[in-house]
A and B are shown apart, each in its own frame.
Chain A
Amino acid sequence: MDLLYQIFIDPFVQMVQVPDLFVQTLWEGLVSGVLYALIALGFVLIFKASGVFNFAQGIMVVFAALTLIGIYTQLRGWGVRPGDLAAFLALFITVGVMFVLAVGVERLMLRPLVNQPDIILFMATFGLTYFLIGLGELVFGGDPKVMIADDLHLPHGSIDFKILGGLVSLQKIDIAAAVIASIMVATLAVFFQKTRIGRALRAVADSHKAALSVGISLEQIWVIVWFAAGIVALTTGIMWGARSNVSFALQIIALKALPVLILGGFTSIPGAIVGGVIIGVGEKLGEFYWGPLLGSGIESWLAYFIALAFLLFRPQGLFGERIIERI
């Protein structure tokens, strides 16, 4: 009886009694949700255009961030002043690196595997992940790095609200992240729906052969898409790194994008945001209000169970398309 009370009544009572804490937790959930959504966005881009589930998206985030910091450090070492010049120069160069990565992946991984079933490509991205982990550690070292947020002119500090009888504190960097993410989502959504290239991307996602037969160059499309995913990864890396340091542990957190995708659908750009927010908020609230019951750390698996529950009731996700199999 007491246990039932603890599960079903207590947490809600707490939420009401200390509302500022509730809002704060809600906000924290929103923020991590936005970051999950950004990672998921990278997945969606690649999946939408090539049917490949890019398991390496997480490591691309880390790799992009590390490259940025690494190049910045090198530039400063060569005497480039002032700091923000070095930062934006590094940013520019990193974008170039992501382009080279996209070309490399297309040339060495996607092209040789062009007609293989999706599962093979999925497993190839596992290989890519390991390769990038090794390369990243080799070139940049394994210890956590600090993101160059200040030199990139990202805001710091917080805005505090005295409401609901207490204090709610919103970090400016988080607000910036939410804004940037929204802009990105909107841009990409428009891009896919309205432009010629966007249409070509959707064609490729449907059928490689059909797209080829109408003259769409698969290679170009894939480079574009992986490059775009790389940009998204870079943005995610910057935003995430600005809140906490950049380390390889981030790569595992990226796995959380999977529940986000399940909720939002693998091919829906707005779905990535919705899914991300649901997972982020669900996770934080769950950890904060129900966590003490089970022992802390349930954040590590709660997201997957949320996704699992959704799958049982709606196997194609909230926004996904119902697949009717014809035989």
Chain B
Amino acid sequence: MRSPTGNEIAAGESILSVENVSLAFGGVKAISDVSLDIRKGEIRAIIGPNGAGKTSMLNVINGFYTPQKGRITFKGETRTKMRPHEAALGGIARTFQNVALFRGMTALDNIMTGRSLKMHSNFFWQLLRHGPAMKEEVEHRRRVEDIIEFLEIAHIRKVPVGVLPYGLQKRVELGRALAMEPDLLLLDEPMAGMNLEEKEDMSRYVLDVNNFYGTTIALIEHDMGVVMDLSDRVVVLDYGRKIADGTPDEVKANKAVIDAYLGVAH
């Protein structure tokens, strides 16, 4: 991948770094002076007790919230503010805690919307649904079907997503994010509400995405087993501050982290 300045970003180099970011809503401080970086090709976990600011952090990276202080550097370009549309253009995709699918559409159509940025046929051909418009539709349909096969949801592709069970909805949402062919994939509690089997499936997908497509992944997750197994590096937030940052083993042994989870006053 190339950064806007034209330099190749090598695997292992930072693809996104967040510096001294602070975010507050009215009087509530969601994030206080947090810095972290994500290296290309890794799986980075963001963990912490409830209310630690994890989702807010993802929202900041995504461009949905603008931090009052701090900067974000993505692919070599630094800015204080990024609109959601720019984030998408830049190659960031994400999933949400409360599945944010388009309930009026089928699973297939939902994933097809993920291709929006890549579909360019103009209005005239769309009116006729012929020629370039149809070619484009078929070509992108092909790619989307690859993703559908990968996620093993072919049997429900024509089902309206509103009636699908929660676990399948999360998979469809992952599919939609993958359809964007992102460089950085943000997953907000992808395993939430799943049983063991579903978690194993989802973990497999996450690993495969990282291995086959080389997608950098940042994920928020509560299940410690999953976090320790999947991630290369972990950052721990508590009350909006960073309290640990390192490999899973390092973080597991960190006293501050243990205290935070056990609720020891500090």
Instruction: Give me the interface of A with B, judged by CB distance under 8 Å.
Output: 324, 327
Contact = CB atoms under 8 A, between A and B. Distances in A.
A144 B188 CA distance: 62
- Interface of B (DSSP majority class): loop
Interface in B156-209: none
7 contacts: A324-B25, A327-B59, A327-B64, A327-B96, A327-B97, A327-B98, A327-B100
Interface of B: 25, 59, 64, 96-98, 100
Nearest to A327: B96
A327 B97 CA distance: 8
Contacts of B100: 327
**Which 6 A/B pairs are nearest by Cβ-Cβ distance?**
A327-B96, A327-B100, A324-B25, A327-B64, A327-B98, A327-B59
Contacts of B64: 327
Contacts of A327: 59, 64, 96-98, 100
B106 to A, nearest CB: 20
B51 to A, nearest CB: 13
Contacts, number: 7
Nearest to A325: B64
A327 B64 CA distance: 10
A156 B25 CA distance: 55
A102 to B, nearest CB: 34
B53 to A, nearest CB: 13
B63 to A, nearest CB: 13
A322 B64 CA distance: 17
Nearest to A322: B26
A237 B100 CA distance: 46
Contacts of B97: 327
A327 B99 CA distance: 10
B6 to A, nearest CB: 34
A327 to B, nearest CB: 6
A156 to B, nearest CB: 53
A324 B64 CA distance: 12
Nearest to B55: A327
Nearest to A324: B25
A324 B23 CA distance: 15
Nearest to B56: A326
Contacts of A324: 25
A267 B229 CA distance: 51
A321 to B, nearest CB: 13
Contacts of B96: 327
A324 B98 CA distance: 17
A177 B202 CA distance: 66
A327 B100 CA distance: 9
A74 B97 CA distance: 63
B189 to A, nearest CB: 13
B246 to A, nearest CB: 30
B264 to A, nearest CB: 29
A324 B96 CA distance: 17
A327 B96 CA distance: 7
B164 to A, nearest CB: 19
A193 to B, nearest CB: 23
B257 to A, nearest CB: 26
A327 B59 CA distance: 9
B85 to A, nearest CB: 16
A236 B31 CA distance: 51
A323 to B, nearest CB: 13
Contacts of B98: 327
A324 B28 CA distance: 13
A324 B59 CA distance: 14
A327 B65 CA distance: 11
Nearest to B96: A327
A49 to B, nearest CB: 27
A17 to B, nearest CB: 50
A324 B65 CA distance: 11
A326 to B, nearest CB: 9
B101 to A, nearest CB: 13
A324 B30 CA distance: 14
A327 B84 CA distance: 13
A33 B197 CA distance: 64
B205 to A, nearest CB: 22
B54 to A, nearest CB: 13
A225 to B, nearest CB: 30
